[in-house]
């Protein structure tokens, strides 16, 4: 009995001791969690209850060279989903509300879940305000569904400028994987034109706000340590070299015809106007672009999305004759009084090559050959100059390479040389007859309208080349600082005599009787230019004009090409003349471009014929 009693008492003591030990362990663990690991576990606790909300930056604004606002931002509602709180059974209801296909919505939510289950992801942008009202009124029906106010682009100028400005679009999967620290699903990025080229400048920096949520992910209040919030950094503003009024008139003058106009300030290299036709309406890209619009634009055989100014190549026609004249003069092959008799045709072997004037021009020198665009003169000249020198001077004038404007779309064009012909025709398989077409800017030589505008600048400046550019400076709205963008300047060194003879021929082209470019004549202002007609195997030729004005102190250089209309003197020269006239009048009336910053503007998202 005694042994049994002793055994029961012992067990009780052991049990009590175990309880005490367990309590001591619990107290010790609580002490350890509360004091020893306070920083570590406290942080984890806060992270579990604090949600990070991304604050989208306001995209930078865009102004023209005179400080006129041409692109700003307007408020737009975007629906978001936080995958960890979302219930898939409400997809049919939500898809109907948003006007989306159910599978499309499901795919977007799955994509958001792969990115982050706890962060809101954008699933549908530019929704109607009525949708937001419905979501607010029936919040309990849509767990995990929210919205944010974003900015969408708004265009203020009557100039469309679609190929200059470009458009924004939703970030691609490739961009997300390449720049995960910069972009989130649903972000808007520059996709073409200035918007894409200057994306890093325009987009700004994302901010973050920390809020407290309960166990169900519902908003409770601002995080107590609000100083951890990181404000969004607004994107910098861009000031273009474009003159919006000149751009608008250039677009109107081209109308529905295909072609391009590029005007440039020869004193700086700043692009004054850059037009490519057909173009498109940028407002269709400011919010959500419908599949129907995308399909129509891509199916359009006139290719409105294609930037002809920098990407399309054409034979330059007779506008290229000054390059050949420069080579002949600089190499001492001809002098100013060297003449050729033009009977209206030129014979080489059994081939007969015509001048654009059937009765011929008679005996002409280099100035008259440029003025009257005599083909026969230049047929003879290229045989004297030779292929190698012709190619070398073409490279000197910048052909066969990109201009450096910075567009990813820019095409270098084609400047054939001996190696090129050996590849195309075979070694020893091409003859001097191939050179005849090159003499008048035909054959394999091909150029872009932008290259031709730079060529006009070179002629205006007697060889000084400023890098062509579309942006003059940026403005940091936070520091209120202007940043001038640097651009290169080069120089083609030719003799003063060569420049004078070429430019005199160009002046007589416009301002003297018998000149092929008299359609570009401006009353009271001496100017210079050259017409050309680029042969087109599919119909009428393309009309060219390149030129500059005023003659003695050029403020504008220009290249105009109008496709499939015929002679450059008849169609392209008058367009160039009107644009030059308007621009020169405008800079007399108004001062040069100002560096003033519109501080009162509210930037917030919520508020004759020849060949």
> pLDDT tens, 490-547?
999 999 999 999 999 999 999 999 999 999 999 999 999 999 999 887 788 999 999 9
Residue 447 reports pLDDT greater than 70: yes
Cβ neighbours of residue 376 under 8 Å, at least 6 residues apart? Answer: 340, 341, 342, 343, 344, 345, 346, 353, 355, 360, 361
**Cβ atoms 572, 250 nearer than 8 A:** no
Tell me what the mean pLDDT of segment 447-457 comes to.
98
Closest CA to 376 of 416, 434, 436: 436
Between CA 591 and CA 179 the distance in angstroms is 43
Looking at residue 19, its pLDDT comes to 73
Question: Binning pLDDT at 50, 70 and 90, where does residue 38 land?
Answer: low
Residue 113's region, left for phi above 0, alpha for psi from -120 to 50, else beta, is alpha
Strand-pairing partners, residue 559, are: 262, 546
Mean pLDDT of the chain: 86
Strand-pairing partners, residue 238, are: 62, 474
Question: Binning pLDDT at 50, 70 and 90, where does residue 276 land?
Answer: very high
Backbone angles phi, psi at 400, to 5 degrees: 80, 10
Looking at residue 602, its pLDDT comes to 42
Cα 171 versus chain centre, distance: 17
Looking at residue 418, its pLDDT comes to 93
Question: Binning pLDDT at 50, 70 and 90, where does residue 603 land?
Answer: very low
Give this prediction's pTM: 0.83
**Cβ atoms 529, 546 nearer than 8 A:** yes
Residue ranges of domains in the chain: 51-240, 244-280+312-589
Looking at residue 353, its pLDDT comes to 93
Instruction: Say whether 592 sits in a helix, a strand or coil.
Output: coil
**Cβ atoms 318, 355 nearer than 8 A:** no
Architecture of domain 244-280+312-589: 3-Layer(aba) Sandwich (3.40)
- 124-138, 223-237, 318-332, 342-356: least confidently modelled range: 223-237
The third-level CATH classification (topology) of the domain covering 51-240 is Penicillin-binding protein 2a (Domain 2) (3.90.1310)
Tell me what the mean pLDDT of segment 274-285 comes to.
90
pLDDT tens digits for range 58-111: 899 999 999 999 999 988 888 988 888 889 999 999 999 998 898 989 988 888
Looking at residue 608, its pLDDT comes to 43
Cis peptide before 377 (omega within 30 of 0): no
Residue 40 reports pLDDT greater than 80: no
Looking at residue 152, its pLDDT comes to 86
Cβ neighbours of residue 295 under 8 Å, at least 6 residues apart? Answer: none
Closest CA to 542 of 441, 401, 456: 441
Tell me what the mean pLDDT of segment 1-8 comes to.
53
Among residues of the chain, what percentage have pLDDT more than 90? 58
Distances (CA, A) of 388 to 383, 391, 494: 11, 5, 18
**Cβ atoms 186, 170 nearer than 8 A:** yes
Looking at residue 599, its pLDDT comes to 38
Cis peptide before 360 (omega within 30 of 0): no
- 91-105, 276-290, 342-356: least confidently modelled range: 276-290
First-to-last alpha carbon distance for the chain, in angstroms, is 133
Question: Binning pLDDT at 50, 70 and 90, where does residue 214 land?
Answer: low
């Amino acid at each position: 009995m005694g042994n049994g009693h002793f055994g029961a008492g012992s067990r009780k003591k052991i049990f009590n001791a175990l309880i005490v030990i367990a309590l001591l362990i619990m107290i010790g663990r609580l002490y350890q969690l509360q004091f020893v690991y306070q920083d570590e576990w406290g942080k984890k606790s806060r992270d579990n209850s604090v949600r990070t909300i991304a604050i989208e930056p306001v995209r930078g604004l865009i102004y023209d060279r005179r400080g006129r606002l041409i692109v700003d931002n307007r408020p737009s509602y975007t629906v978001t989903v936080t995958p960890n709180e979302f219930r898939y059974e409400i997809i049919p209801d939500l898809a109907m509300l948003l006007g989306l296909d159910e599978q499309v919505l499901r795919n977007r939510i799955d994509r958001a879940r792969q990115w982050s289950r706890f962060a809101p992801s954008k699933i549908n942008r530019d929704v109607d305000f009525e949708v937001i009202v419905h979501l607010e009124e029936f919040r309990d029906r849509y767990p995990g569904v929210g919205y944010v106010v974003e900015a969408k682009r708004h265009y203020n100028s009557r100039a469309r400028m679609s190929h200059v400005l470009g458009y924004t679009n939703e970030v691609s999967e490739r961009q997300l994987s390449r720049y995960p620290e910069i972009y989130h699903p649903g972000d808007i990025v520059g996709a073409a034109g200035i918007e894409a080229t200057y994306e890093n400048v325009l987009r700004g920096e994302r901010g973050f706000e920390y809020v407290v949520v309960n166990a169900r992910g519902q908003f409770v209040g601002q995080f107590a340590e609000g100083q951890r919030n990181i404000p969004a950094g607004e994107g910098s503003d861009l000031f273009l070299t474009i003159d919006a009024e000149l751009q608008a008139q250039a677009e109107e003058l081209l109308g529905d015809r295909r072609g391009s106009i590029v005007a440039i300030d020869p004193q700086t290299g700043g692009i004054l106007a850059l037009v490519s036709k057909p173009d498109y309406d940028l407002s269709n890209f400011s919010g959500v672009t419908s599949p129907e619009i995308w399909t129509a634009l891509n199916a359009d055989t006139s290719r409105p999305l294609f930037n002809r100014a920098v990407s399309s190549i054409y034979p330059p026609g007779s506008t290229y004759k000054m390059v050949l004249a420069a080579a002949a003069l600089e190499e001492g092959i001809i002098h100013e009084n060297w003449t050729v008799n033009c009977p209206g045709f030129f014979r080489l072997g059994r081939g007969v090559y015509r001048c654009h004037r059937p009765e011929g021009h008679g005996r002409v020198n280099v100035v008259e050959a440029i003025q009257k665009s005599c083909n026969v003169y230049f047929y003879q000249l290229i045989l004297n100059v030779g292929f190698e020198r012709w190619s070398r001077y073409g490279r000197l004038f910048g052909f066969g390479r990109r201009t450096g404007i910075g567009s990813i779309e820019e095409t270098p064009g084609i400047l054939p040389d001996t190696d090129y012909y050996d590849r195309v025709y075979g070694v020893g398989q091409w003859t001097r007859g191939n050179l005849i077409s090159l003499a008048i800017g035909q054959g394999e030589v091909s150029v872009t309208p932008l290259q031709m505008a730079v060529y006009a600048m070179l002629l205006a400046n007697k060889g000084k080349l400023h890098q062509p550019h579309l942006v003059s400076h940026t403005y940091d709205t936070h520091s209120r600082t202007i940043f001038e963008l640097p651009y290169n300047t080069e120089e083609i060194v030719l003799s003063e005599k060569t420049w004078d003879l070429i430019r005199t021929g160009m002046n007589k082209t416009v301002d003297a009787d018998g000149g092929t470019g008299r359609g570009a004549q401006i009353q009271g202002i001496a100017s210079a230019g050259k017409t050309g007609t680029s042969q087109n195997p599919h119909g009428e030729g393309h009309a060219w004009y390149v030129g500059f004005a005023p003659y003695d102190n050029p403020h504008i250089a220009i290249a105009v090409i109008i496709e499939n209309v015929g002679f450059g003197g008849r169609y392209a020269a008058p367009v160039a003349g009107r644009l030059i006239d308007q621009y020169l009048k405008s800079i007399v009336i108004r001062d040069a471009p100002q560096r003033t910053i519109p501080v009162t503007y509210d930037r917030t998202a919520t508020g004759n014929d020849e060949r």
